Amino acid sequence: MSLNPQCELKTTNPHKKTPRELLIALAGNPNSGKTTFFNQLTGARQHVGNWPGVTVERKEGVVHSGGTRFRIVDLPGIYSMSAYSQEEMIARDFLISGGVDVVVNVVDAANLERNLYLTMQLLELGLPVVIALNMIDEVEKRGQRIDTAKMSRLLCVPVVPTQARAGIGLEQVLSEVVEVAEKSADRKPHATRYHPTIEAEISKLEKTLHIAGDCPLPSRWLIVKSLEGDEDALNRLKRWVEDGDAAQEAIGSTRRHLEAHLGENLETVVADSRYGFIEGLLREVIRYTKAPEALTTTDRIDAIVLHPFLGVPIFLALVLLTFELTFGLGGVLSGVIEHQVSILAEHLKTVMPNTPLQSLLVEGVIPGVGGVIVFLPNICIMFAAISLLESSGYMARAAFLMDRLMHSMGLHGKSFIPMLMGFGCNVPAIMATRTLESFEDRLLTILVLPLMSCSARLPIYILFTGIFFRHSAALVIFSLYVIGVLLAVLSGKLLRRAFFAQTFSAFVMELPPYRLPTLKGTALDVWERAWIFLSKAGTVILAASVVVWALGSLPWGVPFGSERSLAGMLGKLLAPLVAPLGLDWRAAVALLFGVAAKEIVVSTLGILYSASPKAQGSPNIASAVSQSFTPLTAYAFMAVSLIYIPCAATIAAIKRETNSWKWAAFASCYTICLAYAVGLLIYQLGRVVGLG
Ligand code: GDP
Ligand code: MG
């Protein structure tokens, strides 16, 4: 392979002053080490948000080096620059927006062929690129050596060997970035050479289409992409020519002509050319220092972990361990926080005068906000565990194992972990769906997740089974969990069919090699989640608890939560609605309050029933409840509590993770209708068979 003629060294323009700030985009395949690279450089100086209008996470950070301020954006991991997935669209839009000074293409040197496919496309786009040849340590371990100087010459871009995890080579990448940025005016797009027939047609189109000279995108790229059938590129192309429709027509007929001539889909031919180039390149630059090992460590671990019989038990054991830690250890820590919160409430009760302000703090804000902070240890532990499982490479295996089961539910294999977590708490579970790459898969998982019976619903079950099903409590509670799972399965299938019938994502996931997670990476992951949880869910919970408190205490002076309070009046309004389910107004109010947090269902029932006339002379809430419910209505009530609208924090999480109130509203309405239907079915069927 000869040196690329376009690769002539350009002299640096001496009049151009060193730029003070450079915007760097980190682009690369998933798992190539972008985030590690990003974390190493920016440390805690990073900002996590979402890309506008979508749920894909956007990380941005700043680092100063050699007098330059680098703003770094960690792009979503992508394999290609086609415009199929949301991630690809985001990365592509960002890269061609014109704002990026230099693209740092993080390449997994241990998987060069696949990684360079994206590199080829970055180069075709004519972007200023510096290649960080990451995980070079793994290549060396394998007995290979990569001639980076030669690779750099062949690709016409700087190639820097790096080990992001150890922080090696990163500074050199930055200095190459400065270099490339200074020379950017002289840059010429690198061209992949396609089949001669294609090349001839490209030249012809370049001449006939007259793409405007000030078009910011390389005309060759626009033409090739349009020929590949890329709608987005074609639309862009049409904007830069005089007659858009004629251009579209020309592209279409050229495409048909070429496909007839080559006897194959043009996209395939173009992809083959890129891979052909890559293959040649690899043959030039890879040297073997010793014979390749027969079995890698990864192979050995996989032999056990993906074993036909051992695989699932090992997985379940790890899940159980995660649960133990999250809810066992986490529960202990939560208890400590809970205790402190109640001490604070007691303290305020004694030192503050009995005013509305005291009531707001002691009955509204502290239980509400405290109730959120109490979840913090669980959240931190759970995300530490996820981060470890994920970055070690195990999560990909777990998804692989569970794939078939989840597919039968219309869900993605990776949905399994979040679903399982849902039994603990829906909020972190919804956040955990971030491990799913496709938006459809994420959305579907998020929508069915609230049907996983979270631990906040357990107090409701415990209260009612303790009263009505003393001898079969475990069985009854188990049946409720099963109802939740069955409904999730049915909903998964139904929603998949209703919303994205065509987009069922095939599960093609490679299994990355096992790697030792870093403390820094895990700590940052945990910190990020904790912060998101505290700041955002905290504000929603706070607002919800103030509203619930106000409804219960207004008009001022009525007993909290009595019939004369706003809540009571509301209850009377709702009573006819819940009557067909065999429930009274207090149950309706409890359900209403329970929207703030499902635990509140129990405490509301406690307040309302101990204030009810039936309980007079009996301070025992249980006896009051037992007079107002029958075993049948109790079961219906538990089922409704399980299914109906997720709690406020979960709704907020759905809104945040789907980036739209529409889906939060949909999830709320859907579950309310479902709960009503199930409650009605249980009560009316029960009466027919004589259980009422
Ligand atoms: P991303 O998906 O591109 O953001 O990749 P990550 O930054 O999450 O990295 C994936 C895995 O590769 C993590 O387990 C990292 O610890 C590991 N990793 C990153 N850089 C290196 C490296 O230079 N050498 C080795 N052996 N592992 C690395
Ligand atoms: Mg990443």
Q: Secondary structure of 224-239 in the HEC alphabet?
A: HHHHCCCHHHHHHHHH
Which residue is closest in CA terms to ligand 1's atom 17?
33
Q: Do 543 and 609 lie in a common domain?
A: yes
Average pLDDT over residues 78-105: 86
Who has greater pLDDT, 107 or 182? 107
Q: What percent of the chain has pLDDT over 90?
A: 26
Q: Does 101 sit in the ligand 1 pocket, CB within 6 Å?
A: no
Using the predicted structure, report yes or no on whether residue 543 has a pLDDT greater than 60.
Answer: yes
Using the predicted structure, report yes or no on whether residue 616 has a pLDDT greater than 60.
Answer: no
Q: Do 264 and 374 lie in a common domain?
A: no
Mutate to test the pocket of ligand 1, among 79, 172, 515, 525 (most ligand atoms within 8 A of CB): 515
pLDDT band at 681 (very low <50, low <70, confident <90, very high): very high
Could you read off the pLDDT of 432-447 as tens digits, one per residue?
A: 887 776 788 889 999 9
Q: Which residue has the tokens 């890329």?
A: 230
Using the predicted structure, report yes or no on whether residue 13 has a pLDDT greater than 60.
Answer: no
Who has greater pLDDT, 544 or 228? 228
Q: Do 603 and 667 lie in a common domain?
A: yes
Measure 77 CA to ligand 2 centroid, in angstroms.
7
Q: Do 175 and 205 lie in a common domain?
A: no
Q: Does 134 sit in the ligand 1 pocket, CB within 6 Å?
A: yes
Q: Does 28 sit in the ligand 1 pocket, CB within 6 Å?
A: yes
Give residue 102's domain range: 21-183
Measure 28 CA to ligand 2 centroid, in angstroms.
9
Measure 93 CA to ligand 2 centroid, in angstroms.
18
* Count of domains forming the chain: 3
Q: Do 223 and 326 lie in a common domain?
A: no
Q: Closest ligand to 59 CA?
A: 2
Using the predicted structure, report yes or no on whether residue 157 has a pLDDT greater than 80.
Answer: yes
Cα separation values, 582 from 329, 473, 592, 631, 679, Å: 40, 21, 16, 11, 9
Q: Do 647 and 564 lie in a common domain?
A: yes
Q: Do 363 and 453 lie in a common domain?
A: yes
Measure 362 CA to ligand 2 centroid, in angstroms.
43
Q: Closest ligand to 105 CA?
A: 1
Q: Which secondary-structure segment (H or E) carries 63?
A: strand 57-65
- How far apart are the C-alpha atoms of 329 and 377, rounded to whole Å? 8
Residue 371 is predicted with a pLDDT of: 58
Domain CATH for 176: 3.40.50.300
Measure 149 CA to ligand 2 centroid, in angstroms.
27
Who has greater pLDDT, 174 or 354? 174
**From the alpha carbon of 392, which atom of ligand 1 is closest?**
14
Spatial neighbors of 616 by CB under 8 A, at least 6 apart, are none
Q: Is residue 306 part of a domain?
A: no
Nearest alpha-carbon partner for 284 in 163, 145, 169, 157: 145
Q: Do 365 and 403 lie in a common domain?
A: yes
Who has greater pLDDT, 10 or 384? 384
Q: Is residue 4 part of a domain?
A: no
Measure 588 CA to ligand 2 centroid, in angstroms.
45
pTM: 0.59
pLDDT band at 618 (very low <50, low <70, confident <90, very high): very low
Q: Is residue 660 part of a domain?
A: yes
Q: Closest ligand to 434 CA?
A: 2
- How far apart are the C-alpha atoms of 541 and 679, rounded to whole Å? 27
Helices (H), 393-537: 394-408, 416-422, 426-432, 439-448, 458-468, 473-500, 519-532
Residue 15 is predicted with a pLDDT of: 46
Who has greater pLDDT, 287 or 245? 245
Q: Closest ligand to 109 CA?
A: 1
Measure 30 CA to ligand 2 centroid, in angstroms.
7
Q: Is residue 110 part of a domain?
A: yes
Q: Fill in the DSSP letter of residue 534.
A: I
Residue 412 is predicted with a pLDDT of: 74
Q: Closest ligand to 106 CA?
A: 1
Residue 537 is predicted with a pLDDT of: 53
Who has greater pLDDT, 462 or 135? 135
Which of 153, 183, 213 is a domain's end point? 183
Which of 183, 217, 238 is a domain's end point? 183
Measure 134 CA to ligand 1 centroid, in angstroms.
8
Q: Do 200 and 152 lie in a common domain?
A: no
Amino acid at 157: V
Q: Is residue 398 part of a domain?
A: yes
Using the predicted structure, report yes or no on whether residue 617 has a pLDDT greater than 70.
Answer: no
Domain CATH for 230: 1.10.287.1770
Amino acid at 651: I
Are 133 and 160 in contact by the 8 Å Cβ rule? The answer is: yes
Q: Is residue 338 part of a domain?
A: yes
Q: Do 124 and 49 lie in a common domain?
A: yes
Which of 150, 183, 216 is a domain's end point? 183
**From the alpha carbon of 166, which atom of ligand 1 is closest?**
23
Q: Do 400 and 336 lie in a common domain?
A: yes
Could you read off the pLDDT of 266-296 as tens digits, one per residue?
A: 888 888 888 878 887 887 888 877 665 566 7
Residue 673 is predicted with a pLDDT of: 96
Give CA angle at 521 (516, 525), nearest 5°: 125
How confident is the prediction for the chain on average, in pLDDT? 81
Could you read off the pLDDT of 351-396 as tens digits, one per residue?
A: 888 888 887 787 767 766 665 676 678 778 877 888 898 788 887 7
Q: Do 333 and 453 lie in a common domain?
A: yes
Q: Fill in the DSSP letter of residue 5.
A: G
Could you read off the pLDDT of 317-332 as tens digits, one per residue?
A: 887 787 677 767 877 8
Measure 65 CA to ligand 1 centroid, in angstroms.
23
Using the predicted structure, report yes or no on whether residue 218 has a pLDDT greater than 50.
Answer: yes
pLDDT band at 619 (very low <50, low <70, confident <90, very high): very low
Q: Is residue 596 part of a domain?
A: yes
Residue 327 is predicted with a pLDDT of: 63
Q: Is residue 48 part of a domain?
A: yes
Nearest alpha-carbon partner for 220 in 252, 251, 189: 189
Q: Fill in the DSSP letter of residue 290.
A: S
Residue 540 is predicted with a pLDDT of: 59
Average pLDDT over residues 17-37: 87
- Of 66-80, 180-194, 257-271, the range with the highest mean pLDDT is 66-80
**From the alpha carbon of 29, which atom of ligand 1 is closest?**
3
Are 215 and 125 in contact by the 8 Å Cβ rule? The answer is: no
Cα separation values, 642 from 145, 379, 489, 565, 585, Å: 58, 22, 15, 27, 19
Task: For residue 72, list its beta bridge partners.
Answer: 24, 61
Q: Is 556 exposed, middle or buried (0-12, 13-18, 19+ CB in 10 A)?
A: exposed
- How far apart are the C-alpha atoms of 321 and 314, rounded to whole Å? 11
Mutate to test the pocket of ligand 1, among 165, 392, 522 (most ligand atoms within 8 A of CB): 165
pLDDT band at 404 (very low <50, low <70, confident <90, very high): low
Q: Does 138 sit in the ligand 1 pocket, CB within 6 Å?
A: yes
Q: Does 391 sit in the ligand 1 pocket, CB within 6 Å?
A: yes
**From the alpha carbon of 136, which atom of ligand 1 is closest?**
23
